[in-house]
Structure 1
Amino acid sequence: MIQIRVRKSLLMASGKTELAVDFNLEAGSFCTLYGKSGAGKTTILKILAGLIQPDEGFISVNDEVWLDTGKNINLPPQKREIGFVFQDYALFPNMTVRENLQYALNGKTDKNRIDDLLERAALQQLAHRKPLTLSGGQQQRVALMRALVRKPQILLLDEPLSALDLEMRQTLQTEIYGLHQSFHTTTLLVSHQLSEIYRLSDFIISLENGKIMAQGTPAGVFGRERLSSKIQLIGEVLSIRENGVVYILDILVGNNIIKTVTTAEEVQGLQPGDQVKVSAKAFNPIVQKL
């Protein structure tokens, strides 16, 4: 169990904001922090990592106290079992891929561990390349493997895929979820992408102006029906759920989520992430893969 209770005054572009959050996470869960820019999402990650000191706070990770301002306890970042992946990769440009992973071990040597992670990320052939010679997707893979090389209790992901194109983003979403399942690491993601949240998260915390507005499953937080009166819509499949003899699809259209009931034949070959066209024929929408 991870307990996080922090308060900090923040000076944002929009003015002064009071960050005050109190929430618990189950060990091994995948949680997303969602909200507009300035809501305090990245600040929460940095406080958890020990990179920012809150005005008041308490953090306990699996019964080990990392922070207790009331008792003057503040574990330094290097002693917190954290892996952090930033939006801009933050790789050392003068080091090779292998050297970036080796550096994260703080002087320890674990060739087998590094080799295993390079293989998982399909980076074996690129191990002696410098980061600037790699594509954005490859650099993000290196950043992710570097964060995992120390076997952290918590993996922090600060919008790691936002700079990538849709196809690469979906590929890395699948890889991130697979790694999360393999390593059983508690993962905390910052994301604005509803499709990403639906695909990866089993818990979500929605923030606004430094406060928690809602928390729960993605379906519970975002699952209100928002039907459009348009005849034809283009969207992205978020989830597919069997309900008796029919299937219920959550489809992201712009910033809205619509639900539609469809048949087993219509969902054949569909999966989350697919782009679809939703056509309204009377009151029975027809869903076709693009």
Structure 2
Amino acid sequence: MTLDVALVMKLGGFTLDLAFAAPPGITVLYGRSGSGKTSIINAVAGLARPDAGRITVEGEVLFDSRAGVNMPAHKRRMGCIFQDARLFPHLTVAQNLAYGRWFSKTGPEEARVVEMLGIGPLLARRPGGLSGGERQRVAIGRALMAGPRMLLADEPLAALDEARKAEILPYFERLRDEMGVPVLYVSHSPAEVARLATTVVAIDAGQVVRQGPAADVLGDPQVTPLGPRAAGTVLEARVLAHHKDGLSELDAGGLRLHLPAVRHKEGALLRVHIQAADVMLATHRPQGVSALNVWPARVTELRMGTGPGAIAKLDAGGQVVLARITRRSAEALDLAPGREVFAVLKAVSVAPESVA
């Protein structure tokens, strides 16, 4: 199922003027706050009317300014998940789920939703007695019970602390991998994008600056809407071994990677997000250093920023790796395309939420 969006909306100091396609999986609208992401979600949901444009799902027209079509929100079959769960406080969890079912008789079986989200022990409780992560899981469940053809998630983790985010992320992964319900997901977190996205639509000041896989978008600092500090590498890796000292060993297309213990079993495939700022460069193989990840690499591109920073794009055994360094360091190391270097990464630099 594909969502096709083309719209024009005046938003305060700028105009949202863009077009993109959201294929099956999780499509992340990625950009800084105020770039127009929530307005897109509202337009797709039918909560806001664009000035012009056309929105279709599976070929069905939801909005077409030229044809005068603007399908009411309740007929669009979109499940919405917001920053705050917006559960009915006077109803139990079971009753909140039942409310979702009221909108559709063709949604998934309640038992499947309850099991997938791990909310069985919560069914008799009311929202006031739940943690933030538990409330969001129930909100996801209520949206699924309505049998939506697509979920619209507007920064659903923004109001949660890191522990609660880590609790919720696996459930969005299960939505992507097991339920088959497409998701349009708003985020300004590179780690969330790297972990969840099937497709990324990078937005800046109301414009689409790039669309594609997470590795391509996050790996190109020239188009990363949050700027060079948000640039990073997304590696597809397989778990090789879990060692007794608490480290896991991974293989990313021939590139060996040691990280603090990951929760995945040996042989499992996962994604690893590495921030460019966590990668150091050396012109000779470092000796006597604590970093466990040292990779021979070649500089393929060097981009100087407007300030003191620079981004080096590397080929490390066939894998693209980004390193964010200072201009002074780039000059001192005489970096240029073709220069042979070593990329250095501390194992503990990669946070648990950056591995999925």
Letter of the 2:157 partner, please give it. L
Shift of 1:84: 0.6
Mapped partners of 1:51, 1:225: distance in 2 = 33
Pairing 1:205-224 to 2, within 5 Å after superposition = 205-224=201-220
| Partner secondary structure for residue 4 of structure 1 | strand
Distance in 2, matches of 1:147 and 1:87, equals 14
Change (3 A) 1:245 1:204: closer
Q: Cα offset for 1:73? A: 1.1
* Identity of matched residues, %: 32
State the shift of 1:239 in Å: 3.7
1:21 aligns to 2:22 (yes or no): no
Corresponding position: 1:252 with 2:252 = no
In structure 2, distance between residues paired with 1:160 and 1:36: 15
Does residue 287 (structure 1) correspond to residue 346 (structure 2)? The answer is yes
C-alpha distance in 2 between matches for 1:120 and 1:66: 30
Q: Which residue of 1 aligns with 2:6?
A: 5
Please give the alpha-carbon distance, in whole angstroms, between the structure 1 residues aligned to 2:61 and 2:93.
34
Instruction: Measure, in 2, the Cα distance between the counterparts of 1:111 and 1:71.
Output: 31
How far the C-alpha of 1:171 sits from its partner, in A, is 2.8
Q: CA–CA distance in 1 between the matches of 2:234 and 2:184?
A: 20
Instruction: Spell out the pairing of 1:1-290 with structure 2 (5 A cutoff).
Output: 1-11=2-12, 16-26=13-23, 28-106=24-102, 113-224=109-220, 239-241=235-237, 242=251, 244-247=253-256, 250-252=273-275, 256=277, 258=279, 283=342, 285-289=344-348
Given that 1:250 and 1:259 are in contact with CA atoms closer than 8 Å, whether structure 2 keeps it comes out as no
Unaligned runs of 5+ in 1: 227-235, 261-265, 268-281
Look up the equivalent residue of 2:18 and give its one-letter code: V
How many aligned residue pairs are there? 258
RMSD between aligned residues: 3.0
Q: Distance in 1 between matches of 2:58 and 2:42?
A: 19
Larger Rg: 2
Task: Give the structure 2 partner of residue 277 of structure 1.
Answer: none
Q: 1:195 to 1:213 in 2, by over 3 A?
A: same
Aligned in 2, Cα 1:56/1:246: closer, same or farther, shift over 3 Å?
same
CA contact (8 A) 1:250 1:257 kept: no
Structure-2 separation of matches of 1:138 and 1:72: 41
Do the aligned residues in 1 keep the contact of 2:25 with 2:183 (CA within 8 Å)?
A: yes
TM-score calculated relative to the size of structure 2? 0.65
Post-superposition shift, 1:2? 1.7
Q: Secondary structure at 1:36's aligned position in 2? A: coil
Call closer, same or farther: CA 1:2–1:124 in 2, change over 3 Å.
Answer: same
Secondary structure class of the residue paired with 2:66:
helix
The answer (yes or no) to whether the contact 1:102–1:109 under 8 Å persists in 2 is no
| Distance in 1 of aligned mates of 2:184 and 2:176 | 11
